[in-house]
Amino acid sequence: MARAALQHEGIPVSFIPNTDADRAEMLAAIGAQSVADLFHDVPAEHRFPRLDLPAAASELEVLRELDALSRQNADCGAAPCFLGAGSYRHFIPSVVDYVISRSEFATAYTPYQPEISQGTLQAIFEYQSMIARLTGMEVSNASHYDGATATAEAVIMALNVAQGSRRRVVLSAGVHPHYREVVRTYTQGMRLEILGDDEDKRPAELARLCDATTGCVVVQNPDFFGRVVAPADLAALAKSVHACGALLVVAVNPVSLGLLTPPGEAGADIAVGEGQSLGNTMSFGGPYLGFFAFRREHVRKSSGRIAGQTVDGTGRRGFVFTLSTREQHIRREKATSNICTNQSLNALAAAAYLAALGPRGLARVAELCWHKAHYAASRVGAVPGFRVDGAEFFHEFAVSCPLAPAEINRRLFETHGIIGGYELGGDYPAAGFPARKDQMLFCCTEMNTRDEIDLLARALEEVTHA
Amino acid sequence: MDSKVEPGVRYSKTHEWVRVEGAEAVVGISDYAQHKLSDIVFVDLPAAGRELKAGTACMVIESVKAAEEVFAPVSGTVSARNEALVKNPEIVNTDPFGKGWLVRVKLASPVEVDALMDAAAYTSYLATLGE
């Protein structure tokens, strides 16, 4: 069929590189008369439905329209922001963007012919080494999609360690609600018994749910409410979990590890978490970075790709993807995980961020977060009607409010341009969590100035006592 | 390839062997199987107490070039596993019929053993594989 005829039928031709002669030859080979014949199974009235679209716009017009739309967004770079709940605003040194923008690295994907990409493999290896050191674990994989998928993979790994003989998974309500949801989505159809998150349970209570059928116990530290589990409590939990023959999975905020005891030291078997706060922007919720680290004895049951260091035939240092026999391109349906990729560019950003800050820099960021959040808690707690949750916390804290949290947030934003806290009632049903309905979760990082925090306290007083 | 065939044990078509000792059986893989796998780097032994069903996958053996399932040649309960293989899986390569045994199984149905090949039949079977 000629180009003109294609156009006549409404088939776009501008980006079709083959010639009329090519097309005629291909049609003849398959015994079709025209391109339209190929669509003959689609009822005629559904082939080219009329789309109610505006006329085509020029590039300049499109840019102007999108720019106008984007101005309606509240920009965390400009508005004072006290929202955290799993996605955190941190300062990102310029060197991070410089490194990840280099064309050698600017691909979001893990290579499929990896060994010719030595630089990529070395970058992943460096990332893994940093994550292992940060979490106090022996091995890290090359990363997962985000904190939620890393947590779900940890649960599956724990079940694999038990060779499928254990079906109970104990989840703490302090684990991010989205992570718990993804754990349930990933494992549906595996006939598991997932329990423990119907109400707020302390580590000792979670330990009591752990029995001979339990594959793992999953906790988060600091938990979703910002609370820090004391190292002794975590170590005691690890001991009881191990006594049942189960594994302890700890989801951690990596920035908090500049200050807090690494999960590996507290006895965790698998440490996972959201790596976004390490050099990655909030960017509307993704792409993010799931880190995943564990004890060496379980390496064969681990998920994801692992870059390893080796030597070539002449003794020179080189890098490879190792232990691939766990992965689905080799083991098919018996693979330990159905993820054979990683978040290379995000992991690289995390590695560049950690390298730029160094251990002392990260400790300083963690201290700033802690101090600013505690200053904010003292100011917010002093506003009449507000009560701060008394527990030990890192950089987030739950506050009981005198008005509906959603209403407070609306007023904060409309009258003061402040992005307020996270409304906890949506994720925590009143049945098991009666106090959460009226609570808001505030977050402070090194990005929140003292002026912003003072402004928040004054604004809260104004919007609730007007 | 010249594979050793141990007399006095029974073989499956998937190259596992069984040596009956009273109510129990020792299970391993044949010399042919270890040759095919080449250097073994990991044996994922089933836990003691696990129920095995004849003909179904019960563990994985990984070598430098493959990861293969081992099929239970007989049904029963795992009564012991060769813990030496955790640290030194290459024993399966060096002594597949001896120190390289995999598990001991308490037999659920001893007659299953009769359905397996004896050394002579296994030797002929290997010949049909062109080895």
B60, B61, B65, B71: best to mutate for the A interface, most A CBs within 10 A: B60
Instruction: Say yes or no: A275 and A408 in one domain.
Output: no
Domain end, chosen from A335, A353, A371, is at A353
A453 Cβ neighbours under 8 A, 6+ residues apart: A372, A375, A376, A379, A444
pLDDT of B57? 92
A163 vs B69: CB contact, 8 Å cut-off? no
pLDDT tens by residue, A153-183: 999 999 999 988 899 999 999 999 999 999 9
State the pLDDT at residue A106: 83
Q: State residue A48's pLDDT score.
A: 83
User: Are A247 and A239 contacting, i.e. CB atoms less than 8 angstroms apart?
Assistant: no
Note whether B69 contacts A334, CB cutoff 8 Å: yes
Mean pLDDT across the stretch A293-299?
95
A325 inside 8 A of chain B by CB: yes
A323 and A427 co-located in one domain: no
DSSP A224: T
Of A353, A383, A407, at which residue does a domain stop?
Answer: A353
Cβ distance B67 to A163 less than 8 Å, yes or no, reads no
Measured CA angle at A238 (ends A232, A244), to 5 deg: 145
Same domain, A315 and A200: yes
Strands in A281-419 per DSSP E: 290-294, 306-311, 317-322, 387-388, 396-400
Mean pLDDT, residues A283-301: 94
A320 and A206 in one domain?
yes
* Chain B residues closer than 8 Å to A330 by CB: 67
Average the pLDDT over B59-76 and give the result: 92
Q: Say what the pLDDT of residue A466 is.
A: 63
Are both A119 and A217 inside the same structural domain? yes
Mean pLDDT of the region B50-68: 91
B interface with A, Cβ–Cβ below 8 Å: 42, 44, 46-47, 50, 60, 62, 66-67, 69
Total domains in chain A come to 3
* pLDDT tens, residue by residue, A422-453: 999 999 999 999 999 999 999 999 999 999 99
Could you say which of A163, A165, A325 has the minimum Cβ distance to residue B67? A325
| A372-381 pLDDT per residue, tens | 999 999 999 9
Rounded mean pLDDT of A30-36? Answer: 91
Interchain contact A410–B (C-beta under 8 A): no
Q: At A38, is the secondary structure helix, strand, or coil?
A: helix
> Which of A70-79, A200-209, A223-232, A279-288 shows the lowest per-residue confidence on average (mean pLDDT)?
A70-79
In this prediction the ipTM stands at 0.77
Q: What is the pLDDT of residue A3?
A: 63
The confidence score (pLDDT) of residue A35 equals: 87
Q: Do B30 and B16 form a contact (C-beta atoms < 8 A)?
A: yes
Q: Are the Cβ atoms of B47 and A334 closer than 8 angstroms?
A: no
Q: What is the average per-residue pLDDT within B29-51?
A: 94
| Region A82-104 average pLDDT | 95
Give the rounded percent of residues in chain A with a pLDDT score beyond 70: 95
Residue type, A24: A
Gap between the Cα atoms of A200 and A258, Å rounded: 27
Asked if the model's pLDDT at residue A275 lies above 80, the reply is yes
Question: What is the pLDDT confidence band of residue A72, given thresholds at 50, 70 and 90?
Answer: confident
Question: What backbone phi and psi angles, to 5 degrees, belong to A306?
Answer: -135, 120
The pLDDT of A66-92, averaged and rounded, is 92
- Residue boundaries of the structural domains of chain B: 10-109
Cα–Cα dist B69/B49, whole Å: 19
Mean of pLDDT values over A198-217:
96
Alpha carbon distance A298, A295 (integer Å): 6
Say yes or no: A290 and A390 in one domain.
no
How far apart, in whole angstroms, are the C-alpha atoms of residue A153 and residue A134? 20
Q: Is A334 on the interface with B (CB under 8 A)?
A: yes
How far apart are the C-alpha atoms of A338 and A327, rounded to whole Å?
8
* pLDDT at position B91 over 90: yes
Among A341-350, A408-417, B29-38, the minimum mean pLDDT is found in A341-350
- Picking from A163, A165, A325, the nearest residue to B62 by CB comes out as A325
A300: contact with B, CB 8 A cutoff:
yes
- The CATH number of whichever domain residue A177 belongs to comes to 3.40.640.10
A312 by Cβ neighbours in 10 Å (0-12 / 13-18 / 19+) ranks as: exposed
Tokens of A202: 């302390």
Q: Kindly report whether the peptide bond that precedes residue A287 is cis, defined as omega within 30 degrees of 0.
A: yes
| A118: contact with B, CB 8 A cutoff | no
- Containing domain of residue A9, as a range? 3-44
Give the closest of A163, A165, A331 to B67, CB-based: A331
With respect to residue A61, please indicate whether it lies within any of the assigned structural domains.
no
Q: Work out the mean pLDDT of chain A and round it to a whole number.
A: 93
**Neighbouring C-alpha atoms within 13 Å toward the C-beta of A418:** 25
The per-residue pLDDT for range A409-426, each reduced to its tens digit, is 999 999 999 999 999 999
The C-alpha atoms of residue A219 and residue A345 are separated, in whole angstroms, by: 28
Q: Is A329 helix (H, G, I), strand (E, B) or coil?
A: helix
Answer whether residue A72 is part of any domain: no
Contacts of A325 in chain B (CB under 8 A): 42, 62, 66-67
Statement to judge: residues A336 and A376 lie in one domain: no
- A294 in the same domain as A331: yes
pLDDT of A10 > 70? The answer is no
Architecture of domain B10-109: Beta Barrel (2.40)
* Interface mutation target, options A161, A310, A325, A326, chain B, most CBs of B under 10 Å: A325
Q: Is A426 inside a domain boundary? A: yes
A317 and A241 together in one domain: yes
Q: Any bridge partners for residue A319, and if so which?
A: A309
Segment A47-67 shows an average pLDDT of 92
